[in-house]
Amino acid sequence: MAITAGSITPLVLIIGALAALAIAIIGRKGKLEFKTDTEFNKRLRIVSGIIGIVMIAWAFLMVYEATWTEFLMLLMFIILGLGLVLPILPKTNLGSIVALIIAAIVGIIIYQNTSINIWLVIISVLIVFFAFFLIFRVVAASTKLVGTTIGSRWVLLVLGSVALIIGIWKF
């Protein structure tokens, strides 16, 4: 029996919709405290991130187990999950670190498997680093744009309301 086949799928959608509505009404940061974080808002961000990850994983499980019957419900899982997860990602430049690691691995492989000059190895490492750095910058900018759009309070209010209606209707 598939995990996503029962009536738990609409329940997960309802929980995600309630989290989205809570963020849409309360917000991720307190406005009255001049945008400082309160403990409740920190916990709300953590819970929304966990629920968003669960919703995205649930959508993948629905596709993997072939239990999704309506595209709208699957789409709500994906969009609402992204709307809950993307805005809370840390603002670290993970792409630069990954690009540097990939470039170092490529440099080590080239140096060990060929007998070319060390300056050519360094140049190839720099080329690989800048290529991956640019690719990861585009991905990070796209992720930030999507997270800002889908994670806004008004969009989450609409998405949460629609997901709540769909979840209750399917329950």
Tell me: the pLDDT tens digits for 38-76?
777 778 888 888 999 999 999 999 888 887 777 888 899
Residue 126: the pLDDT is 93
Same domain, 98 and 84: no
Same domain, 20 and 103: no
**Model confidence, pTM:** 0.71
Same domain, 127 and 109: yes
**How do residues 130-168 score in pLDDT, each as one tens digit?**
999 999 888 888 888 888 888 888 888 899 999 999 889
Q: Contact, 143 vs 7, CB < 8 A?
A: no
Residue 92: the pLDDT is 57
Same domain, 15 and 85: yes
HSE-up (13 A, CA, CB side) for residue 34: 0
